[in-house]
Structure 1
Amino acid sequence: MRRKWILPITAAVAVLVAGPAAVPAEAGPVDTDARTTALVQRLRQLLPSDYLARKQAAGLQSKTPAASIIDPGDYECGETSFDGWVASLLTGWSPAQKEGLRTILQYDVPLLDAAYYAEPERKRSFGLHGEYTSELRRTFTELRGFWDIRSKGIELVPMHGSTLVDPARSARALQAGYGVSAEIAAEAAAALKELADQDVYDHGNFPLFTTNAVSLVPGEGEVPPPGAQLSKRIVVGDGLLTGARAIGFGDVAPATLLAHEFGHQIQEADGLGAVPANTPEATRRWELMADGLGGYFLGHNRGKNLSWKRIRDAVKFTAASGDCSFDVVGHHGTPNQRGHAAEWGAKLAQKATWPHQRVLPSKRVTELFDRKLPALVAPDAPDTVSLTAAEISAAA
């Protein structure tokens, strides 16, 4: 199954995954820390040693370091508001608590569950309390009617951290994702429940467990694990929506992130190939193109038709999802690049308004994007998103 992320693991979470954080040992309750440490040790014994390779084979992981051909010194890049929010969640945590979080993230059960087992459509809700369900469903319908690809088989699926405290769901996800035995899956699921079902992890609903959104397309001839289902699907995590609201973009974030992920479905449908996984530059192009496609939908009066005030907010939210991981395959683009790509798409859509109001074919938008890409990824300049005469002519 091929996969794309709306954003990579943020800088703060990447530190957790990479290794222990330097936090005073006395922080946090000792009794909880002791129990957490014991559970972490057990879970690390149960996690397959090749778990990353298994996720890569399933199209659910792509974070291998690679050499960069650009000079990071040429770019303005630093911590975003999203990174700051993540860091704020971990303030005062003990090393044991961070180790527990790191271990839960490594297992990635909520993503595996959403990738292989979709809830019945009528039961799907988005947001910790279902507060984004109507908005996301409405936007999804609008996206399917706006673009020219065949989208009937694409599903919109939620990702909930509560899966972690449901041993039956966790166990089947572990079997599907890692191919472990039923016995190992059951033991790991029970340990994950005990670990996640603590106050510090909000009893499974801690936002970082589900701070992502993905677009999935089964490979040709791919056979699902026993009992699992494969389909074209867009998965949206509760934690990502929570984070967007926390940094001030709860109004525009649902449509923005969904338009980006739908952009990945367009790339697949139009035969642009699987998500590149060989260089940071190739992945960055793929992700920035999805930002441009998303911006085009958001700004078009036959699409989401956002006002320019809300488009500016959507651009800021997209920029907040940027990263400075220039030498990592999962690099999505700097904050400036991501924001500029989304703004370019919205400006292109603006030129398609009255009197024509036409929607460009998706392949035409991606062609125009590729022409614009060198300007979008050039060393930071004050203006990279002004439309050329050729772009204006093509859009009008």
Structure 2
Amino acid sequence: MIKNYLKMLAIGSFVLTSCSQDETLETSVEMNLTATANTESTNLDVLETPALFTHNDFKFKISSLVEPTSCATTPFNDVINASVSGNIDALGAQYYDIYTQIAQLYTFIDTDSQYFGADGEYTNYVNNRTRSLEKFWDMSNLITVRGQHNATLNDRDKIASVYLNFSTLTEAQAYGNADFFLAVNEASTFLNESPLLSFDGFASSADLIVIGDGLVQLASEAGVEDKIVWSGILAHEWAHQIQFDNTAVWYPNGAADNAPEATRFTELEADFFAAFYMTHKRGATFNWKRVEEFNELFFNIGDCQFTSPGHHGTPAQRMRAAEAGYDFAKSLQKNGKLLSADEVHESFLQYLNTTILTAPINPPANNSQVRR
């Protein structure tokens, strides 16, 4: 019941240039790709994502964009919109989905030494935070944390390896596709420069957490300190790993009897766990102002899709879940006691109906997003 949790970002659709300009662009690009791409290039969209690898949290898809209605935009909306409209082109619109699929799938087979940040500038910080989470939750050497990078999409061998691992293409066909995409990179102003190509953060029940450079970059541009972003995402996704490990005991009959409520339950619990760790005396030791800053950014985009399998809870509910996790951590401040995941889970259940779900849960009259 924890699978397939999808964070839908409500941002405006992009607008391309005039039709005549697009036609000229597409004609020149088509000629360039025909001349450049390997003749072994075959069907590009043949990748299959195993069911084990479908636990997405902040996945962004151009094809899923919807125009905001009554919900006010947030700084996060603004920077995402700016990133889309700043240099989107016809090729970016056409190949965005397959590019992000390749970038995501590569993280499952990546055996390179891991780095975080486009230039590895956050590697030490993320490694230290990972060790802190391992100690805090008594989970040493159980979870693999990997970075997602735009650079993958400009690496011939890495692109080909995705096709070789997640499709039935031959080696010649896989490398033909890789050559095709390298030619697309040369022709497009959007691919592969956009941070939206590594705008990903997810936990897989294959004991894997992935955080993309683009997600952290855009969150930082929206005004949240970069290290808080890394800590917040990592702590939230780590909570999902704890849920995976305790599914049989915590949710023997599923987290709820319907997908939207089950996803909301597990997401609110992950928010609670993350805030608990981020503020605990033996965790990240952030004060509420810094935790609230992170939560405002990611949770107040708004989610009133009450019938959606990916419903994460309303902004008010998610903020209250984080506040409850913070309050619970502060209540232990004197002795700095470390609790088991079971004990934190039981505390979340107590807060859920007494504090968290007292936030409005009914959709507004126009079934749009709530305003905060």
Provide TM-score, normalisation by structure 2.
Answer: 0.78
CA distance in 1, matches of 2:11, 2:179: 28
Corresponding residue for residue 213 of structure 1 = 201
1:330-349 equivalence runs, <5 A:
330-349=310-329
Corresponding residue for residue 234 of structure 2 = 258
Corresponding residue for residue 156 of structure 2 = 167
- Read off the aligned partner of 2:176 and give its amino acid letter: E
What SS does the aligned partner of 2:275 have?
helix
CA distance in 1, matches of 2:302, 2:231: 17
Structure 2 CA distance for partners of 1:316 and 1:62, relative to 1, 3 Å: closer
Aligned-pair CA distance for 1:93: 5.1
Corresponding residue for residue 130 of structure 2 = 140
Preserved contact between residue 56 and residue 201 of structure 2 (Cα < 8 Å): no
Preserved contact between residue 302 and residue 314 of structure 2 (Cα < 8 Å): yes
CA distance in 1, matches of 2:27, 2:108: 33
What SS does the aligned partner of 2:204 have?
strand
**Out of 282, 291, 313, which is 1:311 matched to?**
291
Aligned pair count reads 336
Preserved contact between residue 11 and residue 77 of structure 2 (Cα < 8 Å): yes
Sequence identity (%): 26
Aligned-pair CA distance for 1:365: 1.2
Corresponding residue for residue 394 of structure 1 = none
Alignment partner of 1:239 is 2:214:
yes
CA distance in 2, matches of 1:177, 1:298: 36
Preserved contact between residue 23 and residue 93 of structure 1 (Cα < 8 Å): no
Structure 2 CA distance for partners of 1:152 and 1:251, relative to 1, 3 Å: closer
1:94-243 equivalence runs, <5 A:
96-105=90-99, 108-120=101-113, 124-148=114-138, 150-198=139-187, 200-201=189-190, 204-218=192-206, 232-243=207-218
CA distance in 2, matches of 1:196, 1:332: 35
Aligned-pair CA distance for 1:313: 1.6
Mark the runs of 5 or more structure 1 residues left unpaired by the alignment.
16-20, 64-75, 219-231, 382-396
Aligned-pair CA distance for 1:315: 2.5
Alignment partner of 1:10 is 2:3:
no
1:13-32 equivalence runs, <5 A:
23-26=16-19, 32=25
CA RMSD of aligned residues (A): 3.4
CA distance in 2, matches of 1:233, 1:146: 18
1:160-185 CA distance string (max 9 Å, x none): 11111112111111232334443432
- Read off the aligned partner of 2:215 and give its amino acid letter: L
Alignment partner of 1:83 is 2:86:
no
CA distance in 2, matches of 1:27, 1:251: 45
Structure 2 CA distance for partners of 1:345 and 1:318, relative to 1, 3 Å: farther
Aligned-pair CA distance for 1:339: 2.4
Aligned-pair CA distance for 1:82: 1.9
1:289-326 CA distance string (max 9 Å, x none): 11110000011011111123212223223324654443
What SS does the aligned partner of 1:138 have?
helix
Aligned-pair CA distance for 1:191: 1.8
What SS does the aligned partner of 1:263 have?
helix
Aligned-pair CA distance for 1:9: 4.8
CA distance in 2, matches of 1:253, 1:94: 26
Preserved contact between residue 160 and residue 205 of structure 1 (Cα < 8 Å): no
CA distance in 1, matches of 2:164, 2:305: 32
